[in-house]
Amino acid sequence: MRARAIAALLAVAMLGASGCGDDAGATGTGAVTVFAAASLTEPFTTIGKDFEAANPGLTVRFNFAGSSALATQINQGAPAHVFASASPANMKAVTTDGTPETFVENQLVIAVPEANPSGVTGLADLTKPGIKVALCAEQVPCGAAAKKALEAADVKLTPVTLEQDVKAALSKVKLGEVDAALVYRTDAKAAASDVDGVEFPESAGAVNDYPIAVLKDAPNLTAAQAFVAYVQSDKGMAVLTAAGFQEP
């Protein structure tokens, strides 16, 4: 009952914020609220603008955050229509309308300061004395992937820090506090002016799947489905691959 009360409150707040509500019905107008993993921020913002341009009358609102935080928000009644998660585990935590589909994959690279001053060429180099490494904590997807990749390579390394998300790990490289960090290729690409991404073969064994789904009881079902279809269209995929994602 408490959860329903919270959901009602949030819905009222949402309506107040939009000022128009769901008067659009099933004709494909109105607003779609998309909860998406933080790593999708740049490509989804672009896709959202393209989608709005292609569908006059439709607006897309985004909430970008860590996938697990988003799943918690959705389960506590936040008014999301679409969820794009950086891990299948977080997608499983919510109730979807239909089966979630993997729309992109992301792979790890070793982020090093520009021009690679420590000469890192693979995972084994990270265990060299004097090399400080930042990993993501095991509890977040990039940390789980890093653990898998390190195990696959049979490399045992002691990081100086286990960061709370991939952007935090990357910022430690940008600031020069660590010599390397395991981050997603997309994050390294987005920070290409400050860091280089070193590819390594073992990352193929720790690919991260990104599922997307319309959430159960989404009020603007047609529009939500239209957005999911647009993301998976050639135009959407072009934006995503340009950002460093791979097609599944």
Partner 1 sequence: MPARAGRRVPAPLLIPAGLGLLFLVLPLAGLLIRAPWATLPQRLTEPGVLTALRLSLLTATLATVLCLILGVPLAWLLARVEFPGRRLVRALVTVPLVLPPVVGGVALLLVFGRRGLVGEWLDSTFGVTLPFTTTGVVLAEAFVAMPFLVIAVEGALRGADTRYEEAAATLGAGRWTTFTHVTLPLVAPGVAAGAVLCWARALGEFGATITFAGNFPGRTQTMPLAVYLALETDLQSAIVLSLILLAVSVTILAALRDKWITSP
Which positions touch partner 1 (CB under 8 A)?
A: 66, 68-69, 72, 132, 134, 137, 139-140, 159-164, 168, 171-172, 175-177
Give least dist CB 6 to partner 1, A.
Answer: 11
Closer residue to partner 1 (CB): 167 or 185 = 167
d(Cα 33, Cα 61) in Å, to the nearest integer? 5
Q: Which stretch of DSSP H or E encloses residue 237?
A: helix 234-242
* For partner 1, the closer CB: 24 or 144: 144
Task: Output the smallest distance, CB 197 to partner 1, in A.
Answer: 21
Nearer to partner 1, 76 or 241 (CB): 76
Quick one: 36 or 137, whose CB is closer to partner 1?
137
Q: What is the nearest approach in angstroms of partner 1 to the Cβ of residue 173? A: 11
Strands (E) across the chain are located at: 30-37, 58-65, 82-84, 101-106, 108-113, 133-136, 161-163, 180-184, 195-198, 208-214
How many other CB atoms sit within 10 Å of the CB of residue 248?
A: 12
Q: How far is the CB of 86 from partner 1 (least distance, A)?
A: 12
User: Helix H segments across 101-233?
Assistant: 141-153, 166-174, 185-190, 221-232
CA–CA separation, 222 and 188 (whole Å): 35
The minimum distance between CB 37 and partner 1, in angstroms, equals 13
Q: Closer CB to partner 1, residue 171 or residue 225?
A: 171
Among the listed residues 6, 43, 66, the one whose alpha carbon sits nearest the alpha carbon of residue 239: 43
